[in-house]
Amino acid sequence: MALQKVVRKLVGELLIDFGIITKGQLLQALQKQKEDGKLLGETLVDMGFAREEDIASVVAVQYGIPYLPLSQHEFDKELIKLVPRELALKHRCIPVDRMGTLLTVAMENPLDERAIDDLEHVSKHKVLCCVSTPSEILSAIEQHYSGAKRDATVPKPVRAEGVSGVRVFQLEGNGSSKE
């Protein structure tokens, strides 16, 4: 039996397929992305062509990773203690569930292997990721970690080059591809 190559569509193509943006909007965003150096998802959101939720949902579909909206999620204070505030802010993530030694974490960038390694090391749990939006994660961190205010010390999403995989909302220094 021959192995079939898995072909993943790019985020922009999926957004068009799902009717979230038009081809014209994608072309405009790609041009703006070249000028401002931001990630495509961030550029689309900035231009008002898509919402963070649209981008996160498409990334979830693209990689088969669940999307978890956090606005109505009930957080367990004991789970929150497994991930220090600084690490949650650094990797824009928050623990959402635990089953035995498996910790489910909502992340803006669930493909960031360095973040997952950090989380596993600190929490002493195997980490399973789901996708959430940057603003939902930061809001949850503010709400559930004392003193976790949004300020200039919180890393901003930026373009990063390198490692394979799609990084739509990416933290500085996490190493990833453009889209």
> Tell me: the pLDDT tens digits for 40-52?
999 999 999 999 9
CA angle 4, 62, 68 (to 5 degrees): 140
Burial string for 20-44 (b: 16+ CB within 10 Å, else e) reads bbeeebbebbeebbeeeebbbbbbb
pLDDT for 53: 94
Name, in order, each residue with C-beta under 8 angstroms of 158's C-beta and a sequence gap of 6 or more: 37, 38, 39, 170, 171, 172
- What is the enclosing helix (H) or strand (E) of 118? helix 113-123
- Per-residue pLDDT at 164: 35
Res 7: pLDDT: 53
Residue 45, pLDDT score:
95
CB 39 within 8 A of CB 159: yes
- Residue 11 has φ and ψ, to the nearest 5°, of -55, -45
pTM value?
0.73
Task: List the pLDDT tens digit at each of the 179 positions of the chain.
Answer: 444 444 578 889 999 999 999 999 999 999 999 999 988 999 999 999 999 999 999 989 988 999 999 988 999 999 999 999 999 999 999 999 999 999 999 998 888 999 999 999 999 999 999 999 999 999 999 999 975 444 434 444 433 333 333 334 333 333 333 44
What pLDDT is attached to residue 63? 87
pLDDT of residue 147: 55
Under DSSP, is residue 99 helix (H, G, I), strand (E, B) or coil? strand
pLDDT on residue 160: 36
